[in-house]
Amino acid sequence: MRKKNNGSFGLLLGLVIVIGGALFVYFSSMFERNAPVVTMSTSEYWNLKKPLDIKIEDESGIKSYKITMKSAKESKTLQYEQLITPEKSLSLTVKPPRSAYTMKEQNIKIIVEANDVSKWNFLEGNSVRKVFTFIIDKKRPQLSIVSNSYKISRGGSALVIFRAIDKNLKDLYIEGDNGKKFIPQPFYKDGYYISLLAWPVKADSFKATVVATDLAGNVAKSYIPLYLKNRAYKVSKINISEKFLQKTANLADQFPETQGETDPLEQFKILNGAVRTQNEELIHKLSSVVDKDEKINNFKINHMHPLKNAALVARFGDHRKYYYKGDYLSESYHLGLDLASNAMAAIKPQNSGKVVFADFNGLYGNMPMISHGLGLYTIYGHCSSIKVNVGDEITKNQIIANTGTTGYAMGDHLHFGVLVQGIEVRPQEWMDRQWIKLNITNVIKSAKKIINRD
Ligand SMILES: [Zn+2]
């Protein structure tokens, strides 16, 4: 009896040890069964300049790794390491070998092999072998300026046509000042692009550079040679009248921003500050839209004169500083032309286009906005009525609205604004037949001449 008892106890103990051992092996990190995980941030194109960022991770710890570069002709170890202290995560920066720079081959493989310290697999551990294939592209995009307006004035517009060639082209834009990116559109024939440019009236200088990047990270830049013509804009001190304040008080009712504020001077500050900013942001957002895939074959624009027999009542670019009884209140820039003729006069843009906005926009009142293509937009503020709807395609002689006093306007007039890719520009240029001929029509004509020779 005793003996038997001992025997079954021993058996039980043995069983507990075996099961316990098996469970320990099964659940212990020492016997972890997952192979290391390899990831790489570089995409499938590589310019052999940027080092490869490779990450290896493992639960139990990485024991060793090896990185090999393989082409059809050779195999080269780029990095190999046997870790003294195992690491759970390794971030590696791997440079290509010197010989790679002169390599002719366009397809290579990067092979990452790694082992972990797990005792699984009869103490061998888990291993991984991951293959990444790369297309080698060491060539920068080819860039050249084909044709451009001779000059750009402060607050004004210009046109550029250029060529950009790269079989792996990724991104193409024109870098202006303060991080502004102009978006070019395909032009006429493959590899050619066109874009309008704008020098913001508030910026002291202007510079524009075409930037092309490819999928492998190669970058090419080409400076656009424009003659810069600075212009002085008027700075005026405006003393606010009682009539003006009355208008402010009437207008203040329409805005949530001025609710609860009863002092007309404070109301004016809010309208000319926060409300103006918000109204301009909407205009900038709507007029920044450019269809980068739409091909431009020609760009015909008539000189703009939206109001017949109009008198100019305020210029573009006026920097207005407002005072009340000698005290400074606030300031703003007038970013359009104010034109006046009869009350409720008909507004004709004189150009075809598409209506992108036809609603009330704060200080601008009822304001249709027309897209003329190539990132060129026009706005018509303070209208008494709007005769078009968003999405309408308008024709050359169509009446789109009538002048009025909606928004922040003292008398019946039209606030006429022109924008290039979200930047207000001098309407006078676009109202000048000769300016359009020199800066738009002729630039396109001479570019086509050059392109046709190719
Ligand atoms: Zn105005």
DSSP string covering 319-368? EEEEEETTEEEEEEE--SEEEE-STT-EE--SS-EEEEEEEE-GGG-EEE
What is the pLDDT at residue 119?
A: 77
CA 337 to centroid of ligand 1, rounded, Å: 6
CA 414 to centroid of ligand 1, rounded, Å: 7
Question: pLDDT grade, residue 204 (50/70/90)?
Answer: very high
Q: Which amino acid is at 350?
A: Q
- Give the closest residue to 428 by CA, choosing from 147, 154, 150: 154
The backbone torsions φ and ψ at residue 371, rounded to the nearest 5 degrees and listed phi first, read -95, 125
CA 451 to centroid of ligand 1, rounded, Å: 42
Q: CA separation (Å) from 246 to 7, 262, 365, 410, 424?
A: 108, 12, 17, 10, 29
Query: Residue 438 — left, alpha, or beta (φ > 0 → left; ψ -120 to 50 → alpha)?
Result: alpha
CA 252 to centroid of ligand 1, rounded, Å: 18
CA 302 to centroid of ligand 1, rounded, Å: 22
CA 449 to centroid of ligand 1, rounded, Å: 41
CA 358 to centroid of ligand 1, rounded, Å: 18
CATH of 235-427, one of 3.40.50.300, 1.20.120.80, 2.70.70.10, 1.10.3720.10: 2.70.70.10
- CA count, 13 A, side-chain hemisphere, 41: 11
Buried b (16+ CB within 10 A) or exposed e, 136-175: bbeebbebeebbbbeebbbbbbbbbbbbbebebeeebbbb
Find the Cα–Cα–Cα–Cα dihedral 312, 396, 425, 333, rounded to 10°: 50
CA 370 to centroid of ligand 1, rounded, Å: 17
DSSP H or E run through 445: helix 442-453
The backbone torsions φ and ψ at residue 316, rounded to the nearest 5 degrees and listed phi first, read -80, 140
Long-range CB contacts (within 8 A, 24+) of 366-373: 366/401, 366/404, 366/406, 366/407, 367/407, 368/400, 368/401, 369/283, 369/286, 369/287, 370/394, 370/400, 371/287, 371/289, 372/301, 373/296, 373/299
Q: What is the pTM of this model?
A: 0.84
CA 14 to centroid of ligand 1, rounded, Å: 95
Neighbours of 81 (CB within 10 A): 15
Question: pLDDT grade, residue 5 (50/70/90)?
Answer: low
- Percent of the chain at pLDDT > 90 equals 67
Distance of CA 48 to the CA centre of its chain: 27
pLDDT for residue 203 is more than 70: yes
CA 237 to centroid of ligand 1, rounded, Å: 16
CA 412 to centroid of ligand 1, rounded, Å: 11
Strand intervals (E) in 203-293: 209-214, 219-223, 227-229, 235-239
What is the pLDDT at residue 178?
A: 82
CA 336 to centroid of ligand 1, rounded, Å: 6
Do 413 and 338 touch, CB atoms closer than 8 A?
Answer: yes
Q: Kindly list the domain boundaries of the chain, sorted by start residue.
A: 32-136, 142-230, 235-427
DSSP string covering 415-435? EEEEEETTEEE-HHHHT-HHH
Distance of CA 273 to the CA centre of its chain: 26
CA 417 to centroid of ligand 1, rounded, Å: 8
Whole-number CA gyration radius for the chain? 34
CA 126 to centroid of ligand 1, rounded, Å: 73
Instruction: Give pLDDT tens digits for 89-127.
Output: 999 998 888 777 777 888 899 999 999 888 777 677 888
Which of 10-14, 51-55, 175-179, 217-221 is least confident? Answer: 10-14
Question: pLDDT grade, residue 131 (50/70/90)?
Answer: very high
Domains 32-136 and 142-230 share a fold: yes
What is the pLDDT at residue 61?
A: 87
Which residues have CB less than 5 Å away from ligand 1 (the ion)?
A: 338, 415
CA 98 to centroid of ligand 1, rounded, Å: 63
Measured CA to CA, the distance from residue 95 to residue 355 in angstroms comes to 53
What is the pLDDT at residue 102?
A: 79
What is the pLDDT at residue 277?
A: 94
Residue 416 class from Cβ within 10 Å (0-12 exposed, 13-18 middle, 19+ buried)?
buried
Q: Which residue has the tokens 């009330």?
A: 360
Question: pLDDT grade, residue 426 (50/70/90)?
Answer: very high
DSSP string covering 290-327? --TTPPBS----PPP--STTPEEEE-TT-EEEEEETTE
What is the pLDDT at residue 448?
A: 97
Which of 38-52, 326-340, 369-383 is least confident? Answer: 38-52
CA 401 to centroid of ligand 1, rounded, Å: 16
Contact partners, residue 246, CB within 8 Å, separation at least 6: 264
CA 396 to centroid of ligand 1, rounded, Å: 24
Q: Which CATH superfamily is domain 142-230 in?
A: Immunoglobulins (2.60.40.10)
Mean pLDDT of all residues belonging to the chain: 91
Calculate mean pLDDT across residues 397-420. 94
Neighbours of 266 (CB within 10 A): 14
CA 313 to centroid of ligand 1, rounded, Å: 9
Measured CA to CA, the distance from residue 422 to residue 283 in angstroms comes to 7
CA 288 to centroid of ligand 1, rounded, Å: 21
CA 415 to centroid of ligand 1, rounded, Å: 4
CA 316 to centroid of ligand 1, rounded, Å: 8
CA 380 to centroid of ligand 1, rounded, Å: 9
**Which CATH fold would you assign to the domain 32-136?**
Immunoglobulin-like (2.60.40)
pLDDT for residue 4 is more than 60: no
